Structures are given as C-alpha cells and as structure tokens.
Amino acid sequence: MSNARKSVVVANGNFVYTDRIRKQIESADRIVCADGGANHLAAVDVTPDLILGDLDSVHPDTLQRFKDVETIKDTDQFSTDTMKIINHELSLGMEELLLLGATGGRIDHALSNLSLLTRYADLIKISIMDERTETLFIKKSITFNSTVRRKISLMVLGGESSVTSKGLRWELDGESQRFSPFGISNEVADSPVTIEVEGSGIFLFKIFEMSDGTPINE
C-alpha cells in the first residue's frame, strides 16, 4: 500500500460522485479545486483544502459556502486553472495527484487535461479518474494486478511508440502504434499485466467493467 502524500484535484468537467470517487476523496491527504471544481464539492457536501484559479467559474454561493477555505485568485492566462493547481501542489511536495472532473463536456478541455499526464509524468505520479475509467500515461513500463476479463484500452495521442504486453487477450509484441483506434477494447487475460513502451509514450485506459459490460469494483 502506498504511503505517498496524495492530492485529489477536482476540475470543472463532468463529475459523477460514485462510491469509488468518494473513497478516493476520503483517502486523500489534500482535496483541492481548480476554480469551478469547487461547485462539484459543494453539491456533495465535501469541503476542500484549497480553491485556486481565475475564479470565473466558481459560483458566488459556492465561495460563500467555502468562505473559510483558502482561496487563491490567479489570473495568469498562459496556464489553465488545472495546471495552476497542479503546480501549487508540486510546490508543497505532494507525491501523487488524482484528477477528477477532468473529462466529459468539451472535448478540447478533456484533451487538454490528458496532455497534463504527459507534461507532469516525470515529476509526479498522476492519473485521471471518472465514473467509468482510470487513465494513466506510460512512458516506459507498468505492471499492475487486475481482474481477468477487465476491459483496457491503449492509445498513442501523439508521436509513435512500440508496445509490448504480457497478460492481455490480444498481446502486443513490439507493434508500432500511432494515433488510431488500434488499441481500443482489449481485455485482461492473466494478472499481473505488464506493458512496456518505447517511443513517445502511451495512454492506458483501465475501464471499470468486464468484457461483457458487468461493472467491477477494483
């Protein structure tokens, strides 16, 4: 079990408060909001440790509700609010970041948040989670335990990478991948799963359901 100091960052995208999401928030050392992400926490009666951003999306009644919460207005237009709060948490020495509310809604916002996994991969353990998927960026390799027949997808969103896997139903043996649907809807055949990457890196999407659509709890 990891003892790394962990911040949960709540952004202003779609936010579904599942039991899995609740447990992630409750286990975090810090809960922080990128601007309008605070609205999501107000709706589920969770108090954050920090609200940071240009404050153009957070509702006035949310700010009133969280009037005793540290709030930092940062109007830098060369960084997104999520980038600003990630940089703030890095400055505090946090060792793990989980982004919530970072998908759904505008596709450009979702892609922007995915790009943050590549931007900060060398600095901190970072991932995105929503009600259906956990998303990670793999630069070199990863090994993880998983339920057999769980759905996973692998996708390159920029550049080119060769990928080798062990433990998947449709194994990859150094195949070169670019941005394409090639790696969608694979599944776990044996646990643990190992994925090795050479090149620009690859996104791993760990879907919270089995190949037949049955939800899983891991």
* pLDDT digit string, tens, across residues 78-134: 899 999 999 999 999 999 999 999 998 788 889 999 999 999 999 999 999 999 999
Q: Are residues 18 and 120 in the same domain?
A: yes
pLDDT of residue 159: 83
Which of 72, 105, 131 is where one domain is finished?
Answer: 131
Tens-digit pLDDT profile for residues 190-210:
999 999 999 999 999 999 999
**Polymer length in residues for the chain:** 218
Question: Residue 190 belongs to what domain range?
Answer: 138-210
- Evaluate whether residue 168 is within a structural domain: yes
Tens-digit pLDDT profile for residues 114-129:
999 999 999 999 999 9
What 3 state SS string does 24-92 have?
HHHCCCEEEEECCHHHHHHHCCCCCCEEEECCCCCCHHHHHHCCCCEEEECCCCCCCHHHHHHHHHHHC
pLDDT of residue 158: 80
Q: Note the pTM of the prediction, 2 decimals.
A: 0.93
R_g over Cα of the chain:
18
